[in-house]
A and B are shown apart, each in its own frame.
Chain A
Amino acid sequence: MTAGMASTAVQSHAVVSFWLAGRQFGLPLRDVREVLSARPVTPVPLAPSDIVGSFSLRGRIVTVVDMRRRLNMPPRASGTEGVTVVVEWQQDVFGLAVDAAGDVLALDPGDRECNPPAVDPRIQDCAGAFYRHAGQSLVLLDIDRLLNQSHLSVVA
Chain B
Amino acid sequence: MDDLLNEFLTETNDSLSVLDVELVKLEQNPNDPDLLGNIFRLMHTIKGTCGFLRLPRLETVAHAGENVLVKVRDGHLEVTSEVVSLILACLDQIRAILSALELSGGEPPGDDAALIGRLDELSEGCAEPALRGQAVSHPVSGITVPEASVDSTLPAADGAAPSKEPAFASQSVRVQVDLLDRLMTLVSELVLTRNQCLQVSRGQTESELHAPLQRLDRVVSELQEGVMKTRMQPISNAWVKVPRLVRDLAQDLGKKIELVMAGANTELDRQVLELITDPLTHMVRNSVDHGLELPEERRAAGKPETGTILLNAFHEGGQILIEVADDGRGLSIEKIKREAVEKGLATPADLAALTDKQVMQYIFAPGFSTADVTTSVSGRGVGMDVVKTNIEKLGGVIELSSSEAEGTKIVMKIPLTLSIIPALVVACGGERFALPQFSVLELVRLPANPEQVIEQIDGRTMLRLRDRPVALADLREMLGTGRAGEEVPALEGASGRMVIVCQVGAGRLGIMVDQVFDTEEIVVKPVASILSDIKLFSGNTILGDGSVAMILDPNGISVSAGHVVTSGRRTDVEADGKVGVGGEALSILVFRAGGSRLKAVPLSLVERLEEIDLGKVERAQGQLLARYRGQPMPLLRIGATGDLATEGYQPVVVFANGGRCLGLVVDEIVDIVEGHMAIELAGSRAGCLGSTTIAGQSTDIIDVGYYLSQAYGQWLGVERRAGEGGETVGRVLLVEDSPFFRNFLSPMLTTAGYEVTAVEDAAQALELCAAGKNYDVIVSDIESGQTDGFKFAETVKQSTRWRETPLVGLSSHAGSADMAQGRSVGFDDYVARADQEALLRAIKANLTQVRGAA
Contact = CB atoms under 8 A, between A and B. Distances in A.
A29 to B, nearest CB: 23
A63 B542 contact: no
Contacts of A42: 431-432, 547-550
A48 B528 CA distance: 12
Contacts of B176: none
Interface stretch (A51-59, A71-79, A106-114): A51-59
A92 B526 CA distance: 9
A90 interface: yes
B528 A45 contact: no
A46 B537 CA distance: 10
B531 A47 contact: yes
A46 B431 contact: no
A64 B149 CA distance: 51
Given A55-B547, A55-B548, A46 B528 contact: no
B525 interface: yes
Contacts of B301: none
Contacts of B536: 45-46
A54 B540 contact: yes
A63 B530 contact: yes
A59 B529 contact: no
A152 interface: yes
Nearest to A65: B530
A55 B546 CA distance: 8
B528 A61 contact: yes
B480 A59 contact: no
B542 A45 contact: no
Which of A47, A56, A92, A93 has its CB near the most chain B CB atoms (within 10 A)? A56
Interface in B420-438: 429, 431-432
A18 interface: no
A53 B534 CA distance: 14
B480 A45 contact: yes
A149 interface: yes
B431 A45 contact: yes
B192 interface: yes
B693 interface: no
Interface in A68-113: 90-94
A91 B189 CA distance: 18
A10 interface: no
A92 B529 contact: yes
Contacts of B429: 45
Nearest to B532: A149
A92 B529 CA distance: 7
A44 to B, nearest CB: 6
B529 A40 contact: no
B682 interface: no
A147 interface: yes
Interface in B526-583: 527-531, 534, 536-537, 540, 542, 546-550
A55 B528 CA distance: 12
A21 B551 CA distance: 35
B774 interface: no
Contacts of A47: 530-531, 534
B531 A56 contact: no
A47 B185 CA distance: 26
A149 B530 CA distance: 6
B80 interface: no
A25 B255 CA distance: 69
Contacts of A56: 542, 546-548
A92 B192 CA distance: 20
A67 to B, nearest CB: 15
Interface string B157-169: 0000000000000
B481 A63 contact: no
B479 interface: yes
A43 B540 CA distance: 12
A44 B189 CA distance: 22
B188 interface: yes
Given A45-B536, A61-B525, 18 more contacts: A42-B431, A43-B431, A44-B534, A44-B537, A44-B550, A45-B550, A51-B531, A54-B548, A56-B546, A56-B548, A61-B548, A63-B531, A90-B529, A91-B529, A92-B529, A92-B530, A94-B528, A149-B529
8 contacts: A44-B531, A44-B537, A45-B431, A46-B534, A51-B530, A55-B548, A59-B192, A93-B528
- Top 10 closest pairs, chain A to chain B, by CB: A45-B479, A92-B528, A59-B189, A63-B528, A42-B548, A56-B542, A54-B548, A46-B534, A149-B530, A56-B548
